[in-house]
């Protein structure tokens, strides 16, 4: 049941695949992914990938837009390196076979999204992620140095804790020796020892009831690293996308890309009035946190479950050419977006926080790297600029590869690691215990830890979560391991971290808005100083 590899990659989205493709030039890679290989948030990305290509855009403008969106919490040096590497990383995607739309003159067709001062988003119609995911999968499948294990779920990363050493503190000396991986064929947990482990498990959207994220986004990597006493931060900054399609029968929610607003669609209230200018001079293309809060407020005022998006002013041929996926999807439920209003509602979309990494993707645990949505590199600060996440994943997987190939040959395998201990566990005969707890968690997070928060709401969420945590830990300890219980446990851990990080932030900043602290700390300080 034991396996040894140079590089263990957990996750098959843009972060995991692009790392695997590069690491495979140097050693053997085992890539595990808990569902089918293409079931990732990457596949559902619509708008595209931000990169600086042509004047009048410049790196400085993209850096500035990213800093503004991050509400002064982004790490400027990380922003600079990410944006300055954008052109090179995008060119590499093209070399891997990814097609981006072009204009009639043969230049890349660039779109604009909220918070961007220039047109700089490369896209493949409104299915950019699908195009990227397909091409990366193809390249990985053709690579002899990459072994792909589908439907294999990473349960825990292996550290000194598994050697019986008491790891009670977040010590700087932790080392990752690989991971315990659930093998669906044997229905057993396998030990995979690795020199380098790359955590690329994506986001956390399913912790909320209404999300654009696919079901695989249960925050597993963040929870595993947190339990292993690795460092995690910024989890209070959950980005709610302003415009998911309001269709209560469907979960996850279908996204209506911001690029549609970039092309001219506007938000309207029940009476057909454009309401965004009341909130921000940038109107419907203001940064996401502002638009999502404005919609939330409009819904509270009107008592309705959604607002409207009007795309009727966009030329029909532009809709058919650039937004065929959205057009077809809406038409399938009776909405013709070339003339009908689209009902939209905010949905949990992106986690700006995650596993802390340095500029080389290294985490606080030796030999463990993180990239993509599960990582917190310092790029996004308090709010992510649209279409910066695919870019971030490419940049940090590249940098992680550069660093890890310098090290991996000198890293020994730790053969003393014991096999997974499942003694004393029995089959859980009541799946309902898991499904109901998941629904309760989602209800708690959506009700009390959503777009607008307060101390009392957060405390309420924490109290409710504590009970779910206790019940789930008990069930986990006595049950034969199945992926569903692992995911529930991870989701509860992630919910707990979000609430705690939100409680610790005694200000409103970026995506974290609290009724109890309506202003930035520094703004509050300015007001206090002027009194």
Query: Whole-number minimum distance, CB 484 to ligand SIN, in Å?
Result: 28
Contacting ligand SIN within 440-479 (CB under 6 A): none
CB 7 within 8 A of CB 29: yes
- DSSP annotation of 161 reads G
Residue 258: name its binding partner from ligand SIN, ligand FAD, none (Cβ under 5 to 8 Å by kind): ligand SIN
State the binding string over 350-389 for ligand SIN (x if CB under 6 A, else -): x-----------------------------------xx-x
Q: Which is nearer to ligand SIN, 197 or 376 (CB)?
A: 376
The distance of Cα 22 from the centroid of its chain, to the nearest Å, equals 22
State the binding string over 332-351 for ligand SIN (x if CB under 6 A, else -): ------------------x-
Q: 10 Å Cβ neighbour count for 77?
A: 10
Q: Which is nearer to ligand SIN, 160 or 389 (CB)?
A: 389
In the chain, the N- to C-terminal Cα span, in Å, equals: 68
State the binding string over 200-229 for ligand FAD (x if CB under 6 A, else -): xxxx--------xx--xx--x---------
Q: Which of 11, 13, 47, 129 binds ligand SIN (CB under 6 A)?
A: 47
CB 178 within 8 A of CB 198: no
Q: Which is nearer to ligand SIN, 101 or 440 (CB)?
A: 101
Percent helix, percent strand, percent coil in the chain, to nearest 5:
40, 20, 40
Query: Whole-number minimum distance, CB 386 to ligand SIN, in Å?
Result: 4
Query: Whole-number minimum distance, CB 460 to ligand FAD, in Å?
Result: 28
Query: Whole-number minimum distance, CB 389 to ligand SIN, in Å?
Result: 6
Tokens of 212: 């654009």
Q: Which is nearer to ligand SIN, 47 or 209 (CB)?
A: 47
Give which of 375, 350, 10, 380 is closest to 206, Cα–Cα.
Answer: 350
Tokens of 233: 């931060």
Query: Whole-number minimum distance, CB 216 to ligand FAD, in Å?
Result: 4
Residue 200: name its binding partner from ligand FAD, ligand SIN, none (Cβ under 5 to 8 Å by kind): ligand FAD
Residue 33: name its binding partner from ligand SIN, ligand FAD, none (Cβ under 5 to 8 Å by kind): ligand FAD
What is the signed CA dihedral for 12, 13, 19, 24, rounded to 10 degrees? 40
Q: What distance in Å separates the CA atoms of residue 144 and residue 147, rounded to the nearest whole number?
A: 8
Cβ burial, residue 160 (10 Å; 0-12/13-18/19+): buried
Contact range with ligand FAD by CB under 6 A, out of 274-282, 384-392, 434-442, 457-465: 384-392
Q: Is 170 a catalytic residue?
A: no
Contacting ligand FAD within 34-53 (CB under 6 A): 34-35, 39-42, 44-49
Q: What distance in Å separates the CA atoms of residue 236 and residue 454, rounded to the nearest whole number?
A: 12
Q: Does the CA dihedral 280-448-309-259 come out positive or negative?
A: positive
Q: 10 Å Cβ neighbour count for 127?
A: 21
The residue of the chain with the least Cβ separation from ligand SIN equals 47
Catalytic one of 261, 288, 457, 505: 288
Do strands 2-10 and 29-32 pair parallel, antiparallel, or not at all (unpaired)? parallel
Q: What distance in Å separates the CA atoms of residue 308 and residue 339, rounded to the nearest whole number?
A: 12
Coil, helix or strand for 176?
Answer: coil
Q: Would you mind telling me the total number of residues written for the chain in this entry?
A: 531
Q: Which is nearer to ligand FAD, 34 or 293 (CB)?
A: 34
Contacting ligand FAD within 116-145 (CB under 6 A): 128-129
Q: Which is nearer to ligand SIN, 198 or 386 (CB)?
A: 386
Q: Which is nearer to ligand SIN, 180 or 350 (CB)?
A: 350
Radius of gyration of the chain (CA): 23
Contact range with ligand FAD by CB under 6 A, out of 4-12, 275-283, 404-412, 498-506: 4-12
Query: Whole-number minimum distance, CB 98 to ligand SIN, in Å?
Result: 16
Give which of 130, 17, 488, 513 is closest to 294, Cα–Cα.
Answer: 513
Cβ burial, residue 143 (10 Å; 0-12/13-18/19+): middle
The set of residues, in sequence order, having a beta carbon less than 8 Å from that of 143 and lying 6+ positions away, is 20, 21, 24
Q: Which is nearer to ligand SIN, 19 or 44 (CB)?
A: 44
Query: Whole-number minimum distance, CB 45 to ligand SIN, in Å?
Result: 7
Give which of 378, 379, 361, 359 is closest to 369, Cα–Cα.
Answer: 361
Q: Does the CA dihedral 405-394-325-343 come out positive or negative?
A: positive
Helices (H), 58-115: 59-69, 76-84, 86-95
Q: Which is nearer to ligand FAD, 14 or 445 (CB)?
A: 14
State the binding string over 258-277 for ligand SIN (x if CB under 6 A, else -): xx------------------
Q: Is 400 in the site for ligand FAD (CB under 6 A)?
A: no
Query: Whole-number minimum distance, CB 498 to ligand FAD, in Å?
Result: 17
Q: What distance in Å separates the CA atoms of residue 208 and residue 448, rounded to the nearest whole number?
A: 10
Size of the site for ligand SIN (CB under 6 A): 9
Instruction: Please identify every residue annotated as catalytic.
Output: 288
Residues binding ligand FAD (CB under 6 A): 10-16, 32-35, 39-42, 44-49, 128-129, 153-154, 200-203, 212-213, 216-217, 220, 255, 350, 372-373, 387-390, 393
Residues binding ligand SIN (CB under 6 A): 46-47, 257-259, 350, 386-387, 389
């Amino acid at each position: 049941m034991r396996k040894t590899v140079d590089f263990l990659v957990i996750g098959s989205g843009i972060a995991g695949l692009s790392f695997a493709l590069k690491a495979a030039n140097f050693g053997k890679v085992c890539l595990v992914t808990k569902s089918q290989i293409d079931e990732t948030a990457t596949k559902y990305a619509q708008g595209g990938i931000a990169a600086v290509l042509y004047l009048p855009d410049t790196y400085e403008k993209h850096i500035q837009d990213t800093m503004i969106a991050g509400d002064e919490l982004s790490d400027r040096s990380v922003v600079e390196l990410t944006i300055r590497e954008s052109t090179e990383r995008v060119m590499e995607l093209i070399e891997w076979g990814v097609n981006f739309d072009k204009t009639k003159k043969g230049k890349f067709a660039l779109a604009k999204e909220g918070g961007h001062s220039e047109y700089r988003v490369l896209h493949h119609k409104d299915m950019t992620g699908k195009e990227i995911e397909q091409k990366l999968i193809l390249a990985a499948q053709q690579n002899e140095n990459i072994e792909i294990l589908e439907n294999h779920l990473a349960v825990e990363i292996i550290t000194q804790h598994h050697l019986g050493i008491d790891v009670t503190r977040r010590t700087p000396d932790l080392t990752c020796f690989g991971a315990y991986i659930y093998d669906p064929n044997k229905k057993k947990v396998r030990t995979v020892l690795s020199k380098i482990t790359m955590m690329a498990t994506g986001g956390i959207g399913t912790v909320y009831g209404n999300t654009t994220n696919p079901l695989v986004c249960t925050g597993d990597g963040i929870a595993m690293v947190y339990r292993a006493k690795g460092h995690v931060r910024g989890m209070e900054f959950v980005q709610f996308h302003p415009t998911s399609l309001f269709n209560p029968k469907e979960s996850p929610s279908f996204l209506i890309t911001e690029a549609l607003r970039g092309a001219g669609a506007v938000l309207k209230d029940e009476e057909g009035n454009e309401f965004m200018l009341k909130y921000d001079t940038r109107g419907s293309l203001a940064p996401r946190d502002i638009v999502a809060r404005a919609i939330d407020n409009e819904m509270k005022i009107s008592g309705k479950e959604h607002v409207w998006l009007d795309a009727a002013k966009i030329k029909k041929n532009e809709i058919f050419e650039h937004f065929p996926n959205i057009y077809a999807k809406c038409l399938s439920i009776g909405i013709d977006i070339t003339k009908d209003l689209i009902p939209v509602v905010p949905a949990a979309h992106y986690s700006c926080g995650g596993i802390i990494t340095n500029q080389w993707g290294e985490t606080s645990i030796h030999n463990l790297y993180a990239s993509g949505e599960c990582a917190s590199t310092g790029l996004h600060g308090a709010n992510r600029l649209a279409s910066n996440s695919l870019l971030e994943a490419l940049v940090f997987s590249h940098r992680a590869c550069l660093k890890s190939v310098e090290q991996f040959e000198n890293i020994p395998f730790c053969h003393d690691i014991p096999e997974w201990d499942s003694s004393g566990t029995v089959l859980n005969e009541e799946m309902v215990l898991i499904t109901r707890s998941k629904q309760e968690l989602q209800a708690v997070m959506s009700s009390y830890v959503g777009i607008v928060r307060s101390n009392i709401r957060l405390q309420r969420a924490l109290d409710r979560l504590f009970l779910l945590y206790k019940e789930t830990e008990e069930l986990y300890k006595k049950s034969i391991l199945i992926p569903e219980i692992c995911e529930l446990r991870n989701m509860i851990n992630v919910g707990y971290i979000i609430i705690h990080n939100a409680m610790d932030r005694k200000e409103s900043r970026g995506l974290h808005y609290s009724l109890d602290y309506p202003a930035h700390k520094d703004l509050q300080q300015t007001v206090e100083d002027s009194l």
